[in-house]
A = this chain, B = another copy of it.
């Protein structure tokens, strides 16, 4: 008898979600693709072997697609096929057709990095964040920032999957007491509240992409914590930008929330772009410019949770579609599995990192219980979460968590 799956009201993995990830479990230690529903992982290899996807496209061996340690093969399939797979899964769950052997309690699975990441780039696209960080840039928002999404190449090898802990890095920085260059463990460890998104359809090297086509090139979104060592970053920034201050580790959440799942949550941006963007970055449908994704960051210190900030993807000045169009505009080539970070997402009152909360390391942050501090301590854990929709009505889905604990150097 196939089970009807109960989905508790606080589960991020609703029937409207159907995210994709890569799992292993003690019973089957082979990394393979999965979805999630309620408290269960849906093993897509077992699901395929049970002939559920026979009707989708006979030319594709979905077992080969899913019996892999990354989602790259799946993400590279045409959007029509991916949509059909998602709808088949939704149908089979609704009808109670999913066999028990396809379902593994989430508490029993280990989540792995969902994609092979060929390139990782990180943007700097929240006006409030840039304003709050302006002590790093001579106290002004650089003029160029308003004319194209600002971005740097990150280090793909340092992207890890939640909840892998992050080691405090050593590096060179100016000693805050003597102002002399010194080598040692970073003393200004920070988080950054971001989202990331993965490329599906490639843009070949030497070609560009129309901004209107951007949505067809995005597979889906994850949460992204762009851990930052502010002292190392400040030392190295001039003139080539961030390197080791970021490249020691970037955490992402394990479940990729697809563009299809996010479609009902498309909305206008909070800010109007002024000056108007260049034509190659102009987005026509203002009502569908971005997504309404409610974000939060929580710090767990000595087992106590402290909500540090909330925010929303729609606060970004430059949208993910404009970011991707800009990224592709100089013909660098974008591959399936490339990861783009949105940059820290702050708001008028929402501060996406401690560098902002400390007003550029000049003030202490106060916690409700009276603790006062500036940057992260060893064993602090950072948890990012995100939700779309309301608990009351309509479709609702969550991203799960992006967790990571800071370990000593």
Contacts and interface: CB of A to CB of B under 8 A. Distances in A.
Interface in A116-145: 118-119, 124, 136-137, 142-144
Interface residues of A, number: 56
A148 interface: yes
A148 B333 CA distance: 31
B144 A235 contact: yes
A298 interface: no
A154 B155 contact: no
A329 B170 contact: yes
Contacts of A364: none
A248 B143 CA distance: 23
B239 A136 contact: yes
Identical copies in the complex = 2
A278 B240 contact: no
A119 B119 CA distance: 8
A53 interface: no
A302 interface: no
A171 B239 CA distance: 20
A405 interface: no
A236 interface: yes
B119 A244 contact: no
Interface stretch (A19-27, A64-72, A156-164, A311-319): A156-164
Contacts of A236: 144, 148, 150
Interface in A306-339: 329-335, 338
A10 interface: no
Interface in A79-115: none
10 contacts: A142-B239, A147-B172, A152-B153, A152-B240, A153-B155, A156-B156, A171-B329, A229-B330, A240-B241, A244-B329
